Structure 1
Amino acid sequence: MTDPHFFGYGSLVNLTTHDYAPARPAILHGWRRVWRTTDRRRAAFLTAVPAPGHAVEGMIAPVPGADWQALDTREAGYDRLPAPRVDHGLRADTTIAVYAIPAHHALPGPARPVLLSYLDVVVQGYARQFGAEGVARFFATTDGWGAVADDRAAPLYPRARRLDPAETALVDTHLAALGVPCVAPEDAGLADGLRRPAP
């Protein structure tokens, strides 16, 4: 029996952030990638939402023995959902899951921005797997750009990676083209971490 696989469309595309292998390119049909916020975190994060006629480029990799515990822990804040329409080149009976945040979410903005250190990890993954053209497709097929918190000097994202100059330039050039405003992490209330305090 074939191990189940996950479909990654954000940080999971960056293969330096996990040990699931072998990973391969795939396309998830009927979904679109968006930035969203929830009451679980102070910063925005990527999710996928059902969107007929759209598709998301990403990577799939096996979950040996269907042991989802470590991946579910990594993707805390997301729900693991079936992803029935994936072009993957594997056996037709391969089960594939996608992580998406619950339905109650909102657009990011200056008070709940995208972490630049998180975006850097995602773009590095797309650059290394799909090249500069893949990065361009990532930006073109991602909605919900609100504001970005520039935390590169002191990354808040737990899986932050160092980018090479070309990768950094890709991120900065695309953000500038989109006109995404940049805020300081402390101005967004992120100085003391990402999770919201308990009520």
Structure 2
Amino acid sequence: MTHITYFGYGSLVNVDTLAKNATHIPGRLQGWVREWKISGLAANGQGTCSLTVRPKQCAEIRGLLIKEPKDGLAALNRREARYEPHHLEAESFLADVPHSHPGSGLFVYKALPEHNTWGNEQSPILQSYLDCVLQGFYRQWGEQGVVDFFETTDGWHVPVLADRARPRYPRAIKAEPALLELVDEMMRARNVAVILDRSLAS
């Protein structure tokens, strides 16, 4: 096997964060749901909460089928250090447009048991991370992609740290104003708690 094939459902949907030689196909993964249920300390000692997935009958989530050379696996595993790969049946992925069969070896990253906990005030969602994720959905599927992300993701009781002015997420991007307005609107609609970034006062 010269390539690896995996399903991205969070920051991996933002193709600007992928390896330069990666290819991608937008589509849906059947039988899974996203959730804000992976937390722990980042390299800087800051507690953060990220996305993971869990099996759920009759559910499906949008994302990308990503393929890249096998020699990129070590770097990908370092990026997904809180996760472990989980094998997927190729038939669980439905492409938005006809494509060749993904073949064997398709996998998705899900939280390691020791990190599989809901985020909280000590481990919040970084707004810069959320913006990066949703820029990917916005570019692939427009406003409907952002709406769909909110509707198919569990855990909006987890607070968001407002770090846009001083991003803490290492792959932070500069998102379109229209996207940021939509993200804020969707957060308000779900009464997502926002924590002010105290570092901005220093």
TM-score (norm 1): 0.86
CA gap of 1:54–1:66, structure 2 versus 1, over 3 A, is farther
Distance 1:103 1:87 in 2: 28
Match runs of 1:1-199 below 5 Å? 3-18=3-18, 19-41=20-42, 42-65=47-70, 67-84=72-89, 85-88=92-95, 89-91=99-101, 93-104=103-114, 105-145=116-156, 146-186=158-198
Structure 1 stretches of at least 4 aligned residues deviating more than 6 Å after TM superposition = none
Q: Distance in 2 between matches of 1:40 and 1:165?
A: 30
- Structure-2 residue corresponding to 1:195: none
The percent of aligned pairs where both chains have the same amino acid is 37
Q: How large is the Cα RMSD of the aligned pairs? A: 2.0
Letter matched to residue 132 of structure 2: V
Contact 1:23 1:62 in 2 (8 A): yes
Task: Give the CA deviation at 1:116.
Answer: 0.2
Aligned partner letter, 2:150: F
**Superposed displacement of residue 92, structure 1:** 5.5
The alignment partner of 1:68 has SS state of: helix
Distance 1:92 1:99, change over 3 A: closer
Q: How many equivalent residue pairs?
A: 188
Shift of 1:82: 1.0
Residue 196 of structure 1: aligned partner: none
Cα deviation, 1:75-113, whole Å, max 9, x if unaligned, reads: 111111112222243325242111111234222222221
User: Is contact 1:3-1:94 (8 Å) kept?
Assistant: no
Give the whole-Å Cα distance in 1 for the aligned partners of 2:110 and 2:41. 14
- Once residues 139 and 47 of structure 1 are traced to their aligned partners in structure 2, the CA distance between those partners, rounded to angstroms, is 14
Distance 1:20 1:60, change over 3 A: farther
Whole-Å separation in 2 of the counterparts to 1:157 and 1:169: 20
Mapped to 1, the partners of 2:176 and 2:40 lie a distance apart of: 33
Give 2:25's aligned amino acid: R
| Structure 2 gaps, min length 5 | none
Instruction: Considering fraction of residues, name the structure with more strand.
Output: 2
TM-score by length of 2: 0.85
